């Protein structure tokens, strides 16, 4: 019954040859030559230096890569001074903070995520529990909050006073045809003022790691686009968009305009690029080019035809190479490699014009 017909055999042989031509790195890995890293390599968005340090320290003392990256981003989720993640994140248009997060564990090929979850600081830890304690991958909204409560997470108001003032400033200045009287500046904090001057902001933390055995994991966590429509879900909790891990190849994640990343299955595209032999940086660049090619709506394009927005990808390969790339120049990414924790310049598609606030 399981006998292979000659046609099946020829078809699978042809497919294997084609795949072999495309995937030199996997061919090398299956020949027992994966070139594993000598120590932990951890990459993160530029706000993730504390996360990379923490994750690398934990991996060096034998922790699982997923536990390590989640503990790393928990630091930023709990930090009220980071306006893009967790507690202190900027709220939706109603002034309510809604969090998105996903995790992927390479060795077990498992994933978990939560989206539009309110009142819990560490969305990444809840995403990890979705992976560990349910048969589901993604739980959203009220269901995510109830799931977190059932697991003993403390409910808190995630809207800090500073984030509330930035939101209120946005709301008061939306229109001159309502009854809100626009105020000048919301706060004496320089970062708060800079944020209040923008129509909206993106911001997220992604963190991916590989250990000396070549096992990989990743996490992405965010409060998402500021002042979004309640219930809007970005790329961060979407497996294959804001995060993807393949234990044979590498891991990747993204920050920036989630709508653009979702449409090209961003992080998955980066990992597939690495599978086909691209370096992490080149794989990130190829995915960014795909975003530019697929961005055709005029409202999203500047006069010169380039996107008004930015997207950044971060990647690490099974053998410990790492990279980051952005649509616009001057971006950095955090990396722990060769025993050193630092920010590195990201590759980019376009030179960022001076005073360009849109991109």
Q: Which residues bind ligand ASP (CB under 6 A)?
A: 202-204, 222, 224-225, 234-236, 255-258
In angstroms, give the least distance from the CB of 35 to ligand ASP: 31
Q: How far, in Å, CA of 134 to CA of 270, rounded?
A: 28
Work out the number of other CB atoms within 10 angstroms of the CB of residue 277: 15
Half-sphere exposure of 297 (CA within 13 A, CB side): 7
In angstroms, give the least distance from the CB of 204 to ligand ASP: 3
Q: Kindly tell me which of 235 and 347 has the beta carbon lying closer to ligand ASP.
A: 235
Token pair in block for residue 137? 């991958």
In angstroms, give the least distance from the CB of 276 to ligand ASP: 25
Token pair in block for residue 308? 């008004």
Under 8 Å CB-to-CB from 55, ≥6 apart: which residues?
40, 42, 65, 68, 69, 71, 72, 207, 209, 336
Tell me which residue has tokens 């965010």.
Answer: 222
If you count them, how many residues does the chain have?
359
In angstroms, give the least distance from the CB of 202 to ligand ASP: 3
Residues 196/185, Cβ–Cβ less than 8 Å: yes
Q: Kindly tell me which of 47 and 160 has the beta carbon lying closer to ligand ASP.
A: 47
Q: Kindly tell me which of 116 and 145 has the beta carbon lying closer to ligand ASP.
A: 116
Q: How far, in Å, CA of 220 to CA of 165, rounded?
A: 26
Token pair in block for residue 354? 């001076």
Q: Kindly tell me which of 222 and 341 has the beta carbon lying closer to ligand ASP.
A: 222
Residue 184 DSSP class: S
In angstroms, give the least distance from the CB of 323 to ligand ASP: 18
In angstroms, give the least distance from the CB of 90 to ligand ASP: 10
Q: How far, in Å, CA of 66 to CA of 243, rounded?
A: 13
Beta strand residue intervals within 95-146, DSSP E: 99-105, 110-117, 138-140
User: In DSSP terms, which residues pair with 334 in a beta bridge?
Assistant: 44, 343
Residue 238 DSSP class: S
Q: Kindly tell me which of 46 and 192 has the beta carbon lying closer to ligand ASP.
A: 46
Q: Kindly tell me which of 170 and 202 has the beta carbon lying closer to ligand ASP.
A: 202
- Residue 209 is inside which H or E element, if any? strand 205-210
How far are the Cα atoms of 16, 24, 55, 70, 122 from residue 27, in angstroms, in the given order? 11, 5, 30, 31, 39
Active site residue ranges: 204
């Amino acid at each position: 019954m399981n006998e292979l017909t000659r046609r099946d055999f020829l078809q699978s042989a042809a497919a294997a040859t084609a795949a072999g031509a495309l995937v030199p790195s996997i061919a090398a890995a299956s020949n027992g030559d994966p070139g594993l890293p000598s120590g932990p390599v951890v990459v993160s968005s530029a706000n993730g230096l504390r996360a990379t340090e923490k994750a690398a320290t934990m991996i060096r003392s034998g922790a699982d890569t997923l536990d390590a990256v989640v503990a790393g981003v928990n630091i930023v989720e709990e930090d009220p001074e980071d306006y893009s993640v967790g507690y202190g994140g900027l709220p939706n248009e109603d002034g309510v903070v809604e969090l998105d997060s996903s995790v992927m564990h390479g060795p077990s090929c498992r994933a978990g995520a939560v989206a539009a979850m309110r009142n819990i600081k560490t969305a990444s830890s809840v995403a990890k529990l979705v992976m560990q304690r349910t048969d589901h991958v993604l739980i959203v909204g009220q269901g995510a909050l109830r799931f977190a409560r059932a697991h003993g997470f403390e409910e808190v108001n995630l809207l800090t006073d500073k984030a509330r003032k930035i939101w209120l400033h946005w709301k008061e200045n939306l229109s001159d045809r309502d009854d809100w009287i626009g105020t000048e500046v919301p706060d004496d904090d320089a970062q708060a003022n800079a944020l209040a001057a923008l129509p909206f902001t993106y911001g997220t933390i992604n963190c991916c790691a590989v250990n000396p055995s070549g096992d990989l994991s990743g996490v992405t966590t965010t409060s998402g686009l500021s002042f979004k429509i309640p219930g809007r879900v970005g790329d961060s909790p979407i497996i294959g968009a804001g995060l993807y891990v393949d234990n044979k190849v590498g891991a990747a994640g993204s920050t920036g305009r989630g709508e653009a990343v979702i449409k090209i299955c961003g992080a998955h595209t980066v990992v597939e690029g690495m599978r086909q032999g691209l370096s992490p940086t080149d794989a990130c660049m190829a995915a960014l080019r795909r975003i530019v090619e697929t961005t055709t709506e005029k409202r999203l394009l500047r006069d010169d035809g380039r996107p008004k927005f930015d997207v950044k990808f971060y990647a690490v390969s099974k053998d410990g190479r790492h990279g980051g790339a952005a649509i616009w120049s001057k971006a950095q990414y955090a990396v722990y490699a060769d025993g050193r924790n630092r920010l590195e310049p990201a590759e980019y598609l376009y030179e960022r014009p001076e005073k360009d606030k849109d991109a």
